[in-house]
A and B are shown apart, each in its own frame.
Chain A
Amino acid sequence: DVKVTQSSRYLVKRTGEKVFLECVQDMDHENMFWYRQDPGLGLRLIYFSYDVKMKEKGDIPEGYSVSREKKERFSLILESASTNQTSMYLCASSSQSDGSNQPQHFGDGTRLSIL
């Protein structure tokens, strides 16, 4: 079974802090993703990565950055946390499709509160 592990289930930070959310997958997947989930808005893609040191902006990248120094680890960084970044953050990974579509596998999420 694919295991996607997010380092924290709950996190409380203050406005202006730099926040790191960590995600590790154990299936040697090439692709990794960061989403946020908000009521009534579904899952929205923040950033994704196809390979080590590669990153692509998703639909809502403003206020975030990412780091992928190792294949199994994908970090989401809130440069200066603001209250509108209070949300559920979900990490996912998938293998490269190469003609057969592969689903994304998700971690259990980090509920982040910015005070």
Chain B
Amino acid sequence: DQQVKQNSPSLSVQEGRISILNCDYTNSMFDYFLWYKKYPAEGPTFLISISSIKDKNEDGRFTVFLNKSAKHLSLHIVPSQPGDSAVYFCAGKDNFGNEKLTFGTGTRLTIIP
């Protein structure tokens, strides 16, 4: 049972344009969502998060949008830069008081110079 789904395994975007990465979830008990970025041969690094009480969180070039009714979140990167080329994972945390994260399968983003 895949509770967090990233349906696009890969995405290519021209440098300077907007990158939009999508994530769907099925667990209605998730109350916190995170995006991680992973370069080859490195561990994932935390990028941005959003609480379920919000619908948008922005940090520089990165914005995460949450649509609770659709159980959908998206990460917008604008403008996209070559250093953004990486695998992006979304993750959800439930409100049961534990610290477990459930990750999606990842989207490989390639920025074309």
CB contacts (< 8 Å) of B101 on chain A: these are 45, 104
Q: Is the CB of B99 within 8 A of A97?
A: yes
Segment among B43-51, B66-74, B77-85 that sits at the interface with chain A: B43-51
A107 touches B43 (CB 8 A): yes
Contacts of A56 in B (CB 8 A): 98
- Residue-wise interface mask of B (1-29) relative to A, using a CB-CB cutoff of 8 A (1 in contact, 0 not): 00010100100000000000000000000
CB proximity to B under 8 Å, residues A15-46: 31, 33, 35, 40-45
The number of inter-chain residue pairs (CB within 8 angstroms) is: 58
Tell me whether A50 and B99 are in contact (CB under 8 A).
Answer: yes
Residue ID in chain A nearest B50 by CB atoms: A101
- Residues of B near A48 (CB, < 8 A) are 99-100
Do residues B99 and A106 form an inter-chain contact, with CB atoms below 8 A?
no
Contact A108 B41 (CB under 8 A): yes
**Does B43 contact A101, Cβ atoms closer than 8 Å?**
no
Closest CB-CB distance, A11 to chain B, in whole Å?
Answer: 14
**CB nearest to A107 among chain B residues:** B43
Query: Complex: how many Å from CA A50 to CA B96?
Result: 14
Given A40-B9, A97-B99, 13 extra CB contacts under 8 A: A31-B99, A42-B6, A42-B89, A43-B44, A44-B103, A45-B102, A48-B100, A90-B44, A102-B99, A103-B34, A103-B49, A106-B43, A106-B45
Interface residues, chain B, CB within 8 Å of chain A?
Answer: 4, 6, 9, 32, 34, 36, 41-46, 49, 51, 89, 91, 93, 98-106
Q: Which 4 A-B residue pairings sit nearest by Cβ, starting from the closest?
A: A106-B43, A42-B105, A103-B46, A43-B103
Jot down 21 A-B pairs with beta carbons below 8 A, ordered by A: A42-B4, A42-B89, A42-B103, A42-B106, A43-B89, A45-B100, A45-B102, A48-B99, A50-B98, A92-B43, A94-B99, A96-B99, A101-B32, A101-B51, A103-B46, A103-B49, A104-B46, A104-B101, A108-B43, A109-B41, A109-B43
